Structure 1
Amino acid sequence: MAMKIRLARGGSKKRPHYSIVAADSRMARDGRFIEKLGTYNPLLPKDSEDRVKMDMERVQHWLSNGAQPTDRVSRFLEAAGVVEKKERANLKKGEPGKAAQERAKEREEKAAAAKAAEEEAKNAPKEEAPAEDAAAEETASE
């Protein structure tokens, strides 16, 4: 039997409250479980002691019997110092979507074009001075 230590959701709509349970991996998320190991209340502030409560002795027992914690529960166990921190591969999660990537590419192209135009304007010979002199001469002759 493949055992998991995972969250079982409770609470009403938009007011979640989770139980940390040891359950058979084939059972439904909120379905039958073997033992309740703790609670997690995401509505409390992160520094609150009551946010995550676990019976560490029982958690250690289930881990020694081969139960695998889910990602969220393993993060709680890492924070408690029970499990060593492991590398996570969220390779695509941090990347922007397709449309956002296209917008960023267009922005880069516009910035490059503007910079090139600025450089070109800087390097161009100054032909404006004679035109200003001609305008000054016209006003003087009147």
Structure 2
Amino acid sequence: MALKIRLSRGGAKKRPFYKIVVADARSPRDGRFIEKVGTYNPMVTVESGLRWTLDEERVKHWLSVGAQPTDRLVRFFADKGLVAKAAKPEQTKKPQPKAKAQQRAKDEADRAAAAAAETASAE
């Protein structure tokens, strides 16, 4: 049985409130769970202590048993010191223009360099 530590959404429309739960990975997001280990209220300011509440001992227990936290919770648990901070993925290369556009840009750069060299030699 694969266990996940994840957020389960509650609250009203446009006023979310999340429970931090341990659940079977196959169960629905807001469905059946094994244990509630905390809450998250995104409507409260960041400075407030009520934004996140967490039973750290239970989280440590579930992590030791093999429960996998979601990406959002990994970031939060890393701030609390419960898990190692996840490494950021490498930046991907920016998309390059097609071959004709690259050739056109190269030709323009060559012309500009030749014009600059010509004006420099004329002076």
TM-score band, normalised by shorter chain: 0.7 to 0.9
Alignment correspondent of 1:27 = 27
How many residue pairs match? The answer is 117
Alignment correspondent of 2:66 = 66
Distance 1:17 1:112, change over 3 A: farther
1:5-16 equivalences in 2 (<5 Å): 5-16=5-16
1:47-77 deviations in whole A, cap 9, x for unaligned?
Answer: 3322211110111111122111111111111
Q: 2:120 aligns with which of 101, 117, 123?
A: 123
Kindly report the root-mean-square deviation, in angstroms, between the aligned alpha carbons of the 2 structures: 2.9
Distance 1:90 1:70, change over 3 A: farther
Structure 1 residue 114: deviation in Å? 9.2
Query: Where does structure 1 lack aligned partners over 5 or more consecutive residues?
Result: 127-142
Alignment correspondent of 1:85 = 85
Query: Where does structure 2 lack aligned partners over 5 or more consecutive residues?
Result: none
Aligned equivalents of 1:122, 1:45: Cα separation in 2: 61
Distance 1:112 1:40, change over 3 A: farther
Q: Secondary structure at the match of 2:10?
A: strand
Aligned equivalents of 1:29, 1:62: Cα separation in 2: 18
Distance 1:113 1:66, change over 3 A: same
Aligned equivalents of 2:42, 2:87: Cα separation in 1: 24
More helix by share: 1
Structure 1 residue 89: deviation in Å? 2.4
Moved segments of 4+, more than 6 Å: none
Q: Secondary structure at the match of 2:122?
A: coil
Give the structure-1-normalised TM-score: 0.65
Distance 1:122 1:79, change over 3 A: same
Contact preservation (8 Å) 2:75, 2:86: no
Distance 1:112 1:59, change over 3 A: same
1:15-43 deviations in whole A, cap 9, x for unaligned?
Answer: 22211100000001111111111111223
